[in-house]
Structures are given as C-alpha cells and as structure tokens.
Structure 1
C-alpha cells in the first residue's frame, strides 16, 4: 500500500462501499438456499480449530473484495515484517516479537541483528527448573517450610494472561498448590488473596517490566510488609519468598529479590502478548513445564498457519476482515465472544485488552486522524449464563452484534462421568443459539402456539445475526494456545487494514500521569497542578467523607 494514501482513496475500499450499497438484502436463509454446501465451504481448519464462518452476511464476492482490501493495505507484507523482527511498532521504535516466545530452539529470529531465540529458551529453562522445585516441594521459605501458595502480582497483561490461562487449564493444574492473582490497587484485592494464607508457605511472583509500575509495586510492598510481619523476620526473608518477572534486575535486587529468582523478558514483548514469556511463570508452576511446552506448541501452530496459509483460507485474515466488514459497513460497534466452557470465563476479559488496547486508536501510522471505524467494543461471558442475561438483545434488539461462539466436542479432562454427561446439553444450546441467531423464527398463526394475534410480533425473530463458530476437540493447553494466537493475529489483521499501530498504548499513560498529580490532593488537599472544577469538587467530597470515617 502507498502509505500516503487514505482509506477513503483506496479503490478496494470504494469497491466494498459500492458492494454494500448494492446489497440486495438477501438474508442467511437465502444465502444457504443458494449454496446448500455453504456450511462446509465457508469453513476453515487451523490446527485443531474448525472455524465456521458460514453464518455471516457475506457472499463469495464480499470475501473477494475484503481480500482485495487486505492486499491493498499491505497486510501480508506487514505480517512478514513483524515475523522478521522489523520495528513495526513505529511510535516506540520497537520490534514486535511475541511470536519468538514460542519459536523452537533451532529457529533464528533476529532483533537488532541478534538472534533472540537462545535467550528465550534460556529463560524458559530457568522457569522450568524453578517450577519443578516448587511443584516437588523442594523450594522452601524463610522458616524451612515448603511453598504451598503462589501469588502473582501484576496489572494488565501481567495479570490478565496468566489468570485467564490458569482458569482455562485448571484441570491440568497441581491441585496441592494454591494460586491467587492480584492486580487491583484497591487494598481489598490483596487482602482477600492473602487473608487465609500462611506467610511461611507463600511465594510472590511480582510481574512488572520496569519493576516500578505504580499499581504492581504498591501491592508488592504491601505483600512484603505482610510477609515480614507474619514471619517476624527482617528483609533477609524476602529472598526466599519473592521472585521477579522483569527487565530490571537492578530494581528487583533493590526490592530484595535474589538474582537467582529474577526471570527476564524483553522490550519487544508487549504486556498483552506476554503471558508465554516469564510473565507466565505462575502458569508454568500450575500446569508444569511439559504442559506449558504444549501451550507454546499450540501458539506456534497458529503462528505457522497465519504465516503460510493463503489469505482465502487463513483464519486470522478471514475473521479480521469480517470484523471490518461489520464495523465499517453495518455500523456494528461491538463484538461478543461467548465461550461455552466454564474454564474460559476470563477469556472475553483477556480479549478485551488484546483487542481494545491494541486497536482503540484514532490516529494512523503516519500520525493522521483515521477516516474509518476502528476497534469494536469487545465483551462477553460464558455460554449458557449469557443466554439468561443479554441474549435477548442479540436476538431481538435493534443493534447488530456479531458474535463468536467457542465450544468443545469433549468436556473438561477431569470431569467424572456423571457430570461429563451434561456436556451434550451444554453443546445443544451452543448449536441452537447460532441457528436461532442466523435463521430466526417467523410469527406463527394465531392460536397455533396458544398466543393471540397481538403477540405474534413479539414472538418473531428476524434472524440474520452473524456468528462465527469455533469448535475444537477439547480445551487442552495446545488448543488454548491456538485460540489465543488466532485472536492475536486477527487483531493484527484489523490494525494493518486500518493502518494503525496495534502495539502501543499511549492512551493508558494519560490516566496514570493525572493520578500522580491527584494523589497529593487526596492526602493533603492540594494537587500537584490545578484541576478542573468538577474534579476539585469531587475530591472535596471524598476528603470530607474519608475524614469523617477516620474520626469515628
């Protein structure tokens, strides 16, 4: 793509606009009638994932035009540049090499002329040795008691990734160990995580690239105070109960962490892409090094698919382009992700950061305002629960909400037979919902179902609500890796088409800067710099109530 061109000037973009204007209104029933094998021809296999996109408001012509747009905007060349280690994060001047975190030992992935793969595997080996010590009970604390509790302290990607993956892979975890994840600077988060733990048996993993992140280090200092108070020990006890996941060994050492318990990662790993680096140490301890290796292999499977599959059969290409189709040409503002697995309860939350922090941008790679709709609002919860909450809006609301349904042919690996038998009921709902959203239900004749003519409009479902179905054999470490990488690369495709930098997050920093200015106002009544009238009034009310409580 000529990067001086704007999207509105691209022939491929204009062709899509004309196609949408000329859309004859054919719904999904008509599309399936015209192509009876659509359910198999509009599907792709990527690793262990069967991805059915047949229930989308698109034709072969639509897909062809979307693929033309991907070509015109240079998605494939930018993808290749990312995998080669070029500095595609243009605003921070960094390579984007989360794919190197799962590269095999003999791979060569260069950043700044240096092959990063040996250092990646050195850290993985260090993690595996440490995880093995914890799991076997050989790692002991200051008093000589074995470690039984692992508390991960992070924020953003340093929390969302490991916490999500731990819940997803709970059937594979070491059940004799307790795992907790703390991220919120609200003291209640840390208190609730620690209130029933013994300091002598507790290990803290502090995940912070700089080892200076305000939220993370506030919790880490409080955890250190809790530990030393509970043990009645001095700072020398910190080395037996804390590990650091960081790029700053010096700051970790100043905190009291032993150099043997510092696990490195690199500035070419973005936080929301980092859980398969040292940030995933809590997960490796939970599921063991062998299962963690399976997870990495699953991520690599999808990387290879994204890198080598032709665009018309490339799952991240197709899903990313369909998202653009609805956002720009159907005015769809949100996207639902609905996993039919209790273990994937945190997956939509994880994807919120991955998608919305990456593509919530209004400036293109050249620093100009974008001229199209960018990232959608991503949301969702576990299936069947959602059916009794917000599915009414999906079926009969006025807003078009494309949705991804994620399900598995076999139940969780650790379920006893009596509980596993419920899986068919779960999956019957899974398939029924996409069928109902796609094809709806016409109003019945009065009296046919006992209702009056006046109720017919209320019992009519228009259908034509687009969904993607992602089906896999079972939720295993490998399959989880494939799912995560599928969405990582889908987000990349969207950002490349929109010509935005998906790998910075300057919008996150402004709030942090303002918080530093306001903190003195909460404690002393005077901010570092003047604030607006609304904020000043709110702070005054806060201080009045806080001081009244303190005086009781």
Structure 2
C-alpha cells in the first residue's frame, strides 16, 4: 500500500454510532456479522462497525499483500527477511508430509522421523518400558524451557487436562529463579526422573542454568555420566552443544530454523502435550490446526475468520487508538491462553519499523491481557465497563463442559453472554435513576447515586464458541490466533517472525552479572550501579 490507510481509518472510526441503536435498528445484525470455521463460531456483531466501515476494512484487506506473502510463506520463501529464514510451522501439522522439501532438504522425511521418535518415546513412557539407571520405570518428566519452548506446551497441557491419560507426571521448569527447580525436585527421585531440555541454541541462559542445576542434582545423588545420558533428552538444533552437556545424539529431537519458538508447539516442543494426552489425541491437536490452516488459505475473504479478527484488531488499534485487548476464556482449562497469546502477538508484532527497516507511522500490536472468566468479573471487568479506556475483548466459551456439573456450565455461559451484552449496551443515567427509585430511594438519593451506576456501553467484543474443549478444537483455536497475528503483521508491513527486541536485555545482563560477581561496574549508569550495590550489600551481610 503506497499511501498510509490510517488517516482514512481514523476518520471513518469517528463516524461510528451506538451499538445499542444498531441492534435496535437491525434485528438481523447478529446473523450478518457472524462466521464459522472448523466448527468454531465467531459472533462479531458487538463491534463498532456498520456496513460502510466493514466494507472499507474489507477493501483494506483486498489491497494488502496478505495473499502474496501467504503464498510466499507456503512456498518456503524466506519471508523472515532479517534472519533469512523460511516460515514453515504450518508444515509441522500437515497430515501428509511426503514430498516436502526446502533448500534441497527432505523436510517431509525429517518431520515424519521426528513424529515417529516422539510417538515411540511417549509409548515407552506410558507402558513403563523406559527405565532409569536403577532399573526402575520413569515416573516423572521435567520439561526445561522458556518462552515458546514453555508457554505453548504448558498452555496446551492445561487446556486438555480432561484428556490426560499418562501414568507419568509432568513438571515444567522455566524461570531462572532458583525457586522453580528447587521446588520441582523436592518430591522427586532422580532414579525415576527424565529431564527434557528444550532449547534451539542450547545456549539460552534460563534453560541452560536450569539444566545444569538438574544435572548437578543427579550427580549429587550418585549418578555418573552414563546415568545422566540415560536420563536427559533434548530438542535442539545445536547437537554439538547438547552432546557436550552429556546428552547422547539418539536422545536429541530436531529443531529447525524455519520454526520460531512461539510457533513450535507442533514440533518436538509438543512432546509434553503428547505425553499427557497420548499420541492419538496429539494427532487430533495437529489435525485441528491443519483444518484451520486450510480454512485460512482457501476461505473467501469475507468469511475468513483469522482475517476477520485481524481486521477488527487493526480497526481498534489504528482507527480508534486502542492500546490493549482483553482475552477472556470462559474456561478454567484455558486460563493460560492469554499468556500464550501475549507472546504470540506482542513478540511477533511489537515492532516500530517495517519490513525494510523504515519507521512505522502508527501503533502495532496491542497489550494482551486477561484471565479465565468469571474470575475477572470480580476484578478488572470494572475497568472494562466503566473506565474511559476502550479495551476490545475476545470472549471464548466451550459449549459442552468436560465435567458433569451442567448447571455450573449453564451459569458460566450466562455470565459470559451477559458480559458481552453489558459491554455493548451499558446502563444510561435514566436507567440507573429508575433502578434506584425502584429500590425505594428518594429522588434526592437516586440523583446522588445514579451517576455512579452508569456504564457508557458501546464497548466492543467478539464471542468465540467452541463445540467442546477437545484436542481438535484447541488446535484450531491456537492456529486461528497464529493466522490473525500473521495478517496484522502484513497489514502493518512488518516482519512478524523475528524478535530482536528481546536481545538487548540479554546482552546487558552479561556485564551486570559479572558486576554482581565482583567485577567492574564503573561503566554502568548510576541507577544500575546503585541497584548492584544494594544487592551486594544484602548478599554480603
């Protein structure tokens, strides 16, 4: 797009009227602003759009490079231009990977081999055939990773709790805070524990330090090099570093440079999910994601669910100036989804330059936050309803519960739908006053209290309905947000697949660590020097 579309978008946004009035004037509005994909239903009728603005957004999409970039990505072109990498995570969930080749490498064979090795390992663990150095069967697995190597599998394992079928217990260790590893190993026996280190470079500080601590834990319990080799696995592209750590090559599953960490759930990074829900259910997770891929690739523009969500996000960020988005799953099992999407969205599109390194003219990714409903209703929903801030929200509800408490689920659904209605219609001063009078207040009392009960309404939301929280639909839901982020990145003209911004803090932590260990801090700024001094004073007491 040669000229910036944002001024026109902002002018159009300023013309939007009342959602309450829009519903009153158009009884069919909910049917017109609705779409389905892979069994998931999206109601986007409670958004600040009319036929004119929605047509303008569709025109924006049509004039964009979404289709050319998508086709380039599918062809294996290096759409991650700053790192000169292809972006092929969609290939990891294809049912048929035969014939897939990239830069002369038989990627299909590599994916199939990785799947077979994952399946075999999960089967051995489930059947008690994998034994430790003492001859006892493995009873616990510690997954060591951070960022995309942790958030994806941890979220999916939680989401699919009702499908857990593993006799082996799973423990996650991510943060470099020593409390994490210390707490994990307290109740475990190294003789029956398997450690899986997930790091593409095998040099990520948090992962490496936690792996070293766990290796020392084994040594402290008398394990030798052969025992450690038996109890440690890895997924990494740096086989040399993993081998130097003490992991034998047959215990190293591959990672490829065409898979970014936040898109890696579908690879060997998904092993914890396969371990907990079984190989067949993990295959269904991949199948759901693949189905959403096919919808995204082939669905007409006006019916394309990822594109619809992307356009609505663009509309609020660049048209209305919204800086945040709430992700509100009405499911206890999906409580980690907001954290997962935080990384997916904010690490992908939190950029200030375009794909050519030129400054962007407007904001990009929003601040993503949220929690499981109904907990949030008793906390931050107050801000959603009555604050002057406009925070678009995605409500997500599985229609069929994974438990027998059907009345609980009916009440949960009632709260979910009521929140979207309340955000849309609000409560006027007249309605609040009438409510106070009906409660027996005097006119004077009602006049004093009513303004505090007013909610402005006109707050936008989407509602996503899943038939159930099964592996298939969880896979489709995750892929839906992946493709939404991709579309928005193309619309903003940026590279969604690098994350150079996370590097600076890592670089600066090295000299600071040396200073905390007694090194020279004189070249650091005065604030950092003072913080180091406070740390050392407490440490040396």
The equivalent of 1:390 in structure 2 is 380
Structure 2 counterpart of 1:223, from 214, 234, 251: 214
1:124 matches 2:115: yes
What per-residue deviation string (whole Å, max 9, x for no partner) do you get for residues 281-305 of structure 1? 1111111111110000000011011
1:69 matches 2:60: yes
Matches within 5 A, 1:7-406: 9-10=3-4, 12-21=5-14, 23=15, 25-106=16-97, 108-230=99-221, 232-406=222-396
Q: CA deviation at 1:457?
A: 1.2
The equivalent of 2:416 in structure 1 is 430
1:444 matches 2:423: no
Matches of 1:171 and 1:399, distance apart in 2: 37
What per-residue deviation string (whole Å, max 9, x for no partner) do you get for residues 17-45 of structure 1? 33234x1x421112112321111221110
Q: CA RMSD in A?
A: 1.4
The equivalent of 1:536 in structure 2 is 529
Matches of 2:23 and 2:108, distance apart in 1: 47
Matches of 1:394 and 1:20, distance apart in 2: 20
Consecutive unaligned residues of structure 2, counting only runs of 5 or more, are none
Q: Contact 1:292–1:477 at 8 Å: present in 2 too?
A: yes
TM-score (norm 2): 0.96
1:472 matches 2:466: yes
SS at match of 1:145: coil
Q: 1:420 to 1:151 in 2, by over 3 A?
A: farther
TM-score (norm 1): 0.94
What per-residue deviation string (whole Å, max 9, x for no partner) do you get for residues 117-162 of structure 1? 2211210111001110011110011101101101100010001011
Q: 1:88 to 1:283 in 2, by over 3 A?
A: same
SS at match of 1:526: coil
SS at match of 1:422: helix
Matches of 2:44 and 2:305, distance apart in 1: 10
Matches of 1:263 and 1:212, distance apart in 2: 16
What per-residue deviation string (whole Å, max 9, x for no partner) do you get for residues 86-138 of structure 1? 11101111101110111122554442244522211210111001110011110
Q: 1:130 to 1:424 in 2, by over 3 A?
A: same
1:483 matches 2:483: no
Q: Contact 1:78–1:88 at 8 Å: present in 2 too?
A: yes
Select between 420-429 and 41-50 the one with higher mean Cα deviation. Answer: 420-429
SS at match of 2:464: strand
1:458 matches 2:448: no
The equivalent of 2:488 in structure 1 is 494
Q: CA deviation at 1:176?
A: 2.7
Runs of 4+ that moved beyond 6 A: none
Matches of 2:116 and 2:183, distance apart in 1: 33
The equivalent of 1:523 in structure 2 is 517
What per-residue deviation string (whole Å, max 9, x for no partner) do you get for residues 389-440 of structure 1? 100000001100000000011112xx2x3x3431111111111111111111
Matches of 1:325 and 1:490, distance apart in 2: 13
Matches of 1:492 and 1:124, distance apart in 2: 26
Q: 1:356 to 1:89 in 2, by over 3 A?
A: same
Q: Contact 1:84–1:110 at 8 Å: present in 2 too?
A: no
